Chains A and B, each alone.
Chain A
Amino acid sequence: MRGPPPRHPDDQREQLPAVEGVIADAAELEPGNRVVYPNQGVCEVVGVEEKDIAGQKLQLVRMRREEDGAAVLVPKNKVPSIGLRRVATGEQIDGVFHFLAAQFEDPELDWKVRHRDNADRLIAGGVLGVAEVVKGLHSLSRIRPLPAKEREQYDNARHLLVHEVAVSLGVPPGLAEDYIDYALMPPAGVEFDLKPPPKPVLLPSRPKRRRPAAAEEESVEDLGLADLGLGDLDLGEVLEGVPEVADAAEGESAEGGDTAHAEGTEDGEEAVTEPGEEGAEEEPATAPAARKPRKAAVAAPRMEKREAKPAAAKEPSKKVEKAAKKPAARKVPLKKAEKPPKPVKKTAAKPAAKRGGKKK
C-alpha cells in the first residue's frame, strides 16, 4: 500500500506495508460490499458508473455512507491509493479491544508531531490506527484537557471506531461504544485477561527539516526585525556600515584616549557576548556555529554606531564630550577594584532578556 501523500512536493511517497484488508484493485469491489473509507466511515458499494466530467469520461465507484446515506464517488483508478479497506475482521477487532484495555503508554507530548501522526493513523492505519488515536488522545486527556482541535479529532476517531466495531460485531453503535469504553475505562475492580496487543501501526518517517544554505545565511541575519515592526529597515546598509562604524569607534577611542577605548570595548561586550567573555568580541564573525555571537556582532556595532555618529560627522558636540566624560568618571572605581565590571553584567543581561521576551 502506498503511504499518505508526501509532506513536501519534492518528497517521494513513502511505501508502507499494507494494512490488512486494504483494497488494492477496484475490481475487487462488488455491489453490496461493505468497505471502510478512511476518515469517512463504513460505506456500502453501490456500483460502478461512468460519468462525463470536464470532457473526460471517468469510471467512478459509487458508495453510500451507511451512517447518513451520503453518496461517495471515487474514480476507479484512485481506489488503490485512498486506503479503502474491508471492514475489520473479528480477529482484528479482538486485537483492538486488547489494545484498548492494555496499559497506556506515555502519550506524545509534542502536539505538532502528535497531530500529524494521528492524522496519518486515521488515513492509513486501519482499525488499529483509529484505536491508537482514540487511546492516545484519551490517555493524554487524563493528563490535561485536550485543545479544541484535538478534542474534535478525538471525537471523530471515536466516531469512526464505534461505527466500524458496530458493523464488524453486528451490534448497534450505542452498544459498540459501551464495549469500547468498558475496555478503555474499566469499572473499579475489573481486570481483564489480556493477550499481547497487536503491533502498532507503522507511520511514515518524519520529514527532515529543510534548510537550504541560502536560507541559513538569511536566518543568521534574521534579527527578528519584523517582530519589532522594523521589517522595512534596510539591513544591508547597517551591515555595510559596520567597518566604518568600527573605524569611527576606533577613531573616537584614539581621541578619547585609553579610557574611551576601554569604554568602547566594554560596550561592545555588553551587547555582544555573555558577560565575562572578553575575547568574544575580537572574533565574532569567524565563530562558525555560534548564532548568538553573530547576531550580537551585528548588534554591537549598531550600539556603537549611536555613540560613533558624532565622531563620524566630525562635529564633536558637548553631548559627546559629556558621554565621553561620564564613563571615564565611572571607570575610576572600576579600575581601582580591578574586577570585571559588575554593572556591565547587569546591563548586558537586560537587553537580551527584553529581546527574548518580545520574541516570545
Chain B
Amino acid sequence: MIRVVTIEKIDPADMAFLTATLYRAFGLGTEHAGDRPLPRDAEMDDGRLDAVKFLAEVAPVRTFADDKVLYITSAPLALPPGPLGEPPCWGFAQYGGERAVISTSRLPERGVTEASIETWRRRLAREAIHAIGHLWDLHHCYDAKCAMHPSWSPSLPANPEMDLDAFCRDKSERRIRLAKT
C-alpha cells in the first residue's frame, strides 16, 4: 500500500490523478493518508528543508509491513553537500525503506489553464513514481524516458514521461512480489 501524506493542502483532483498514476505504475493500492505538520527541526537557515532530517523528524503515519509513505511538501528541499558539491533536490527517499519526500517547489508553475495543470500533475506524478521507486530498491536509470532518470539530468526532456522503463518495471514488480506481505 502506498500512503500519500501532504504537508500543505493539495487540490483533490490533483490527488486523485496522483493516486491513480501510482496505482498504475506499481499495481499497489494508493490512498491519501491525510496531512501532517511541517517538522520545524528540518528547516535550515535559508528557509529550505533538510530532506534527510525531514524524513527522520516528520510525524509518522500508521503503516503495516511493506507500506510506503510519500510526503509531499511545497517547501524547497536541500541535501547535505557531497564530495563534489550539493546536488539539486527534487525529493529524497530512504532507499529500500519506508519513507520518501518530494517537493513541488521545483515543478513548473501549476497555472490555471488545463494544459499547464496537466503538465504540473504529470511532473508531480513522475517525481512521486521516482521516489516510490527508490523505496522499492530501484536505482537511477540511464534512460531519459524512465521515471527513475535523475530529475536534474540535462537529457531529461521538458515534459518527461511518468512511466518506468522495462527494466525498472520488471525489477519493481519482482521486489513487490517478493515483499513479505
- Chain B 126-168 interface mask (CB, 8 Å, partner A; 1/0): 0000000010000110110000001011110000000000010
Within the assembled complex, what's the spacing in Å between the Cα atoms of A20 and B152? 34
Question: Per a CB cutoff under 8 Å, which of B88, B134, B142, B167 touches A174?
Answer: B134
Does A172 lie within 8 Å of B87, measured CB to CB?
Answer: no
Which B26-61 residues have C-beta < 8 A from chain A?
Answer: 52
Does A181 lie within 8 Å of B140, measured CB to CB?
Answer: yes
Question: Per a CB cutoff under 8 Å, which of A97, A177, A179 touches B139?
Answer: A177
Which applies to chain B's interface (DSSP): helix, strand, loop or mixed? loop
Give the Cβ gap from A61 to chain B, nearest Cβ, in Å. 26
Does B82 lie within 8 Å of A185, measured CB to CB?
Answer: no
The answer to whether B92 has its CB under 8 Å from any CB of chain A is yes
Does A174 lie within 8 Å of B85, measured CB to CB?
Answer: no
Does B83 lie within 8 Å of A93, measured CB to CB?
Answer: yes
Within the assembled complex, what's the spacing in Å between the Cα atoms of A171 and B95? 11
Does A158 lie within 8 Å of B139, measured CB to CB?
Answer: yes
Determine the chain A residues whose CB is within 8 A of the CB of B89 once the complex forms: 178
Does B80 lie within 8 Å of A187, measured CB to CB?
Answer: no
Determine the chain B residues whose CB is within 8 A of the CB of A188 once the complex forms: 154
Does B82 lie within 8 Å of A178, measured CB to CB?
Answer: yes
- Which residues of B line the A interface, CB within 8 A? 52, 79-80, 82-85, 87-89, 92-96, 134, 139-140, 142-143, 150, 152-155, 167, 171
Does B52 lie within 8 Å of A175, measured CB to CB?
Answer: yes
Number of A positions contacting B (CB below 8 A): 35
Does A159 lie within 8 Å of B139, measured CB to CB?
Answer: yes
- Chain A, residue nearest B149 (CB): A185
5 shortest interchain CB distances as A-B pairs? A179-B82, A182-B87, A173-B95, A187-B152, A188-B154
Within the assembled complex, what's the spacing in Å between the Cα atoms of A94 and B83? 7
Does A162 lie within 8 Å of B92, measured CB to CB?
Answer: no
Question: Per a CB cutoff under 8 Å, which of B82, B88, B92, B142 touches A138?
Answer: B142
- Chain B, residue nearest A96 (CB): B83
Interface centre among A145, A151, A159, A175 (most CB of B within 10 A): A175
Question: Per a CB cutoff under 8 Å, which of B84, B92, B152 touches A183?
Answer: B84
Determine the chain B residues whose CB is within 8 A of the CB of A158 once the complex forms: 139-140
Question: Per a CB cutoff under 8 Å, which of A94, A155, A178 touches B87?
Answer: A178
Determine the chain B residues whose CB is within 8 A of the CB of A141 once the complex forms: 142-143
Within the assembled complex, what's the spacing in Å between the Cα atoms of A188 and B158? 13
- Say whether, besides A151-B167, A155-B171, A172-B52, A181 and B95 are in contact (CB < 8 Å): no
- Say whether, besides A151-B167, A174-B95, A97 and B152 are in contact (CB < 8 Å): no
Give the Cβ gap from A113 to chain B, nearest Cβ, in Å. 21
Within the assembled complex, what's the spacing in Å between the Cα atoms of A181 and B154? 12
Determine the chain A residues whose CB is within 8 A of the CB of B82 once the complex forms: 97, 169, 171, 175, 178-179, 182
Which A62-105 residues have C-beta < 8 A from chain B?
Answer: 67, 93-94, 97, 101
Determine the chain A residues whose CB is within 8 A of the CB of B92 once the complex forms: 174-175, 178
- Which residues of A line the B interface, CB within 8 A? 67, 93-94, 97, 101, 138, 141-142, 145-146, 148, 151, 154-155, 158-159, 162, 169, 171-175, 177-179, 181-183, 185-188, 190, 192
Within the assembled complex, what's the spacing in Å between the Cα atoms of A190 and B153? 11
18 examples of A-B residue contacts, CB within 8 angstroms: A94-B83, A97-B83, A141-B142, A155-B139, A162-B139, A169-B82, A171-B80, A171-B82, A173-B96, A174-B92, A174-B93, A174-B95, A175-B82, A178-B82, A178-B87, A179-B82, A181-B87, A181-B140
Determine the chain B residues whose CB is within 8 A of the CB of A101 once the complex forms: 84
- Chain A, residue nearest B90 (CB): A178
Give the Cβ gap from B93 to chain A, nearest Cβ, in Å. 5
Does A182 lie within 8 Å of B167, measured CB to CB?
Answer: no
Question: Per a CB cutoff under 8 Å, which of B85, B94, B167 touches A172?
Answer: B94
Determine the chain B residues whose CB is within 8 A of the CB of A190 once the complex forms: 85
Within the assembled complex, what's the spacing in Å between the Cα atoms of A158 and B93? 17
Give the Cβ gap from B156 to chain A, nearest Cβ, in Å. 9
- Say whether, besides A145-B143, A155-B171, A181-B140, A187 and B95 are in contact (CB < 8 Å): no
Within the assembled complex, what's the spacing in Å between the Cα atoms of A183 and B152? 12
Question: Per a CB cutoff under 8 Å, which of B85, B96, B153 touches A185?
Answer: B153
Give the Cβ gap from A93 to chain B, nearest Cβ, in Å. 7
Give the Cβ gap from B38 to chain A, nearest Cβ, in Å. 21
Does B84 lie within 8 Å of A172, measured CB to CB?
Answer: no
Within the assembled complex, what's the spacing in Å between the Cα atoms of A192 and B139? 24
Give the Cβ gap from A12 to chain B, nearest Cβ, in Å. 38
Interface centre among B80, B83, B134, B140 (most CB of A within 10 A): B83
Does A187 lie within 8 Å of B153, measured CB to CB?
Answer: yes
Within the assembled complex, what's the spacing in Å between the Cα atoms of A230 and B82? 64
Determine the chain B residues whose CB is within 8 A of the CB of A179 once the complex forms: 82-84, 87
Does A187 lie within 8 Å of B154, measured CB to CB?
Answer: yes
Give the Cβ gap from B178 to chain A, nearest Cβ, in Å. 11
Give the Cβ gap from B154 to chain A, nearest Cβ, in Å. 4
